Structure formats: C-alpha cells, structure tokens
Amino acid sequence: MSVTFSLNGKPVTFDGPDDVPLLWAVREHFSLTGSKFGCGIGMCGACTMHLDGAAVRTCVMAVGHVRGRAVTTIEGLPTDETNPVHQAWNELDVPQCGYCQSGMIMATTSLLARNPNPTDQDIDQTITNLCRCATYIRIRAAIHAAAR
C-alpha cells in the first residue's frame, strides 16, 4: 500500500504499510528527524506534529490516518522573525537538553493559532507535553511572550 499526503506543504507518498506510526514514516522514510520518540504510547508529546493544523501525537497515529491530509513538522515552521514562537524560545533560552522542545513548539504553535492570548490555565490544560528538565516555567513565559 501507499499513502499520499502533504508534508510541510509538499505532496509526498509513503510506500509501506498503512499501520506504520506517522512518527516513524516521517523520521525514517522522509528523514525529518526533528520530531522525537519519547514514550511511544501517546503520553509525552515529544512526537507532536500538526495534522490539518491541530497538534497530534504521532507515535500512536498510523500513517494511513493522514491520507490526503496536511502534516506539518517542526521543519515546516518558519525559523525567522515571522515566527514569534521560535523568537520567544530563543530570547528566553527555554531548552535545557532540548529533546522535547520540538514537540513543545508544535503544541504551542497550535495553541496560539486557536487562542492568541492564552491564560496560564489555558496553557497548563493544553500543553500537556512532558519535559524531563522541567523547563515548564520558561515554556509558560515563552508562550506569553510569543502571544504579545
């Protein structure tokens, strides 16, 4: 079987079983390794990408599920001044080890697209990704900075 979908704005075709996790299809087949493997059970958020603009955990999503849809990875986001999330992350030195941060940024970008001025409660309820370095306070501050 094959699965055709949009990946970072370009049409791509994955040749393989429909039930391969999207994370592995993107990392192994398309060599986009910014999205990380953490838990593999949908708990940590390291694998977060956007599916039609919504943050999704791709270690538990079959690639067949995205047929005909739009997937965006961290590599598909702008890195210049047009992206306030990247700017805020840099200005506030958010990452420590950095492993979870692409997932954090993808979850944040999706949140701000739906809620441009989130409260602390909105952030805590929506950004449920895990960070072993416990950068949560800086993440919250960066989300508020990006929202300004």
Tokens matching residue 55: 């943050």
**92/135 with CB nearer ligand FES:** 135
Q: Is 20 in the site for ligand FES (CB under 6 A)?
A: no
Under rule CB under 6 A, which residues in 79-118 are in contact with ligand FES?
none
- In whole angstroms, the minimum distance from the beta carbon of 64 to ligand FES comes to 17
Give the number of C-alpha atoms closer than 13 A to the C-alpha of residue 107, restricted to the C-beta side: 27
Measured CA distances, 41 to 58, 73, 92 (Å): 10, 19, 30
- The residue of the chain with the least Cβ separation from ligand FES equals 59
Judged by CB under 6 A, the number of residues near ligand FES is: 12
- In whole angstroms, the minimum distance from the beta carbon of 128 to ligand FES comes to 10
- In whole angstroms, the minimum distance from the beta carbon of 48 to ligand FES comes to 7
Type of residue found at 127:
I
Q: Are 115 and 122 in contact (CB under 8 A)?
A: yes
**45/76 with CB nearer ligand FES:** 45
Q: Is 34 in the site for ligand FES (CB under 6 A)?
A: no
CB-based contacts of 19, cutoff 8 Å, min separation 6: 62, 63, 64
Residue with tokens 């047929």: 67
Encoded one letter per residue, x for contact with ligand FES by CB under 6 A and - for no contact, window 53-72 reads ----x-x-------------
- In whole angstroms, the minimum distance from the beta carbon of 13 to ligand FES comes to 24
Measured CA distances, 135 to 11, 107, 111 (Å): 35, 15, 18
